Amino acid sequence: MSTPTRRSLREQAASLGEPAGLTAAPVPSGPVSSVPTRGARRGVGRVLADILLWIAAIAGVVCMVLVVLALTANITLIMFRTGSMSPTIPAGSVAVVQQIPASEIEVGDVVTVDRPGDLPVTHRVTSISAGATDAERVITMRGDANAGDDPYPYTVQTVRVVLLSVPGIASVIVAMGNPYVLGALTVAATMLVVWAFWPRSSTVRRRRTSLEPG
């Protein structure tokens, strides 16, 4: 029996229609889909982390803008606990207000008047008359849900006029003032930032090494 030579092997391969010197690639054993699955899960987690970071960044920018507006333009927030201004401003709304001099008040404005020893009142101006000084005005107001004007007029030098309102978010803002909620949010934000920016080079290197043929 003769030993097969390289020439005879090439002739056999040619007769079978296969290129000589090539062998079938070994099929890897084990769960092939495990690595892509982990990669896909990590990709989804990364996207969610990026979204949460963007939300946190936008919230931070909004807070900074509100601080700047409060210091430069006398713009602040007030919450409506009652429905006296419904349906225009229902209970549970938060309004953006700006402090203005009494001389700029107009009939129809919704303004907040501070009352010494009592809670501020936010109603619609129904009439304006001159006060004792040029900077002073005497105004009457009425809630949109009320049948008549407030029981007595208000003598003011400044008021806070409502610029816009957002219904239904007063409870969220109140909850944000809870120290337990603030603590939980601080811890969650810290963990999110640490997770998002934690170096992953060593993990990627180990994964690539495990995939290389040994």
- Report the CATH number that the domain containing residue 137 is assigned in CATH: 2.10.109.10
In this prediction, residue 20 carries a pLDDT of 46
Residues 95 and 157 in one domain: yes
Residues 68 and 81 in one domain: no
Considering the domain architecture, whether residues 98 and 163 belong to the same structural domain is answered as: yes
Owning domain of residue 54 = 38-72
Tell me: do 45 and 91 sit in the same domain.
no
Q: Is residue 50 part of a domain?
A: yes
| Contact indicator for 131, 102 with CB cutoff of 8 Å | yes
Q: Quote the CA–CA distance of 71 and 64 in Å, as a whole number.
A: 11
Is 150 in contact with 141 (CB distance < 8 Å)? yes
Is there a domain that residue 10 lies in?
no
CB atoms within 10 A of CB 103: 14
44 and 124 share one domain: no
Does residue 189 belong to any structural domain of this protein? no
Residue 84 included in any domain:
yes
Residue 95 in domain: yes
What does the block give as tokens for 165?
A: 């309102």
Q: Do 162 and 122 meet the contact criterion of CB atoms below 8 Å apart?
A: yes
Asked if residue 163 is part of any domain, the answer here is: yes
Within this chain, do residues 57 and 85 fall inside the same structural domain, yes or no? Answer: no
8 Å CB contact between 111 and 50: no
Q: What are phi and psi of 61, to 5 degrees?
A: -65, -40
pLDDT at 44: 72
Q: How many domains does the chain have?
A: 2
Q: What is the pLDDT of residue 74?
A: 81
Domain stops at, among 30, 51, 72? 72
Same domain as 118, residue 46: no
In terms of domains, do 159 and 120 share one?
yes
Cis peptide before 101 (omega within 30 of 0): no
Which residue from 59, 54, 40 is spatially nearest to 193, judged by alpha carbons?
54
Q: How many CB atoms lie within 10 A of CB 75?
A: 17
Contact 158, 100 (CB under 8 A): yes
Half-sphere exposure of 182 (CA within 13 A, CB side): 6
Contact 95, 80 (CB under 8 A): yes
Does residue 103 sit in the same domain as residue 141? yes
Q: Tens-digit pLDDT profile for the chain (214 aa)?
A: 555 555 665 565 555 555 544 454 555 555 554 445 555 566 676 777 677 777 767 766 766 776 776 677 688 889 998 999 999 999 999 999 999 999 999 999 999 999 888 889 999 999 999 999 999 999 999 999 999 999 999 999 999 999 999 998 877 776 666 666 666 667 776 776 676 666 665 555 555 555 555 5
Q: Are residues 84 and 114 in the same domain?
A: yes
Q: How far apart, in Å, are the Cα atoms of 54 and each of 48, 59, 83, 185, 196?
A: 10, 9, 35, 15, 12
Residue 84 and residue 168 in one domain: yes
Co-location of 115 and 46 in the same domain: no
**Looking at the domain assignment, is residue 15 inside a domain?**
no
Residue 45: inside a domain, yes or no?
Answer: yes
At residue 91, the pLDDT reads 92
What pLDDT, on the 0 to 100 scale, is given for residue 11?
A: 62
What local confidence, expressed as pLDDT, does residue 187 receive? 72
**Neighbour tally for 98: CB within 10 Å:** 15
- Prediction pTM value: 0.57
pLDDT in the model for residue 162: 96
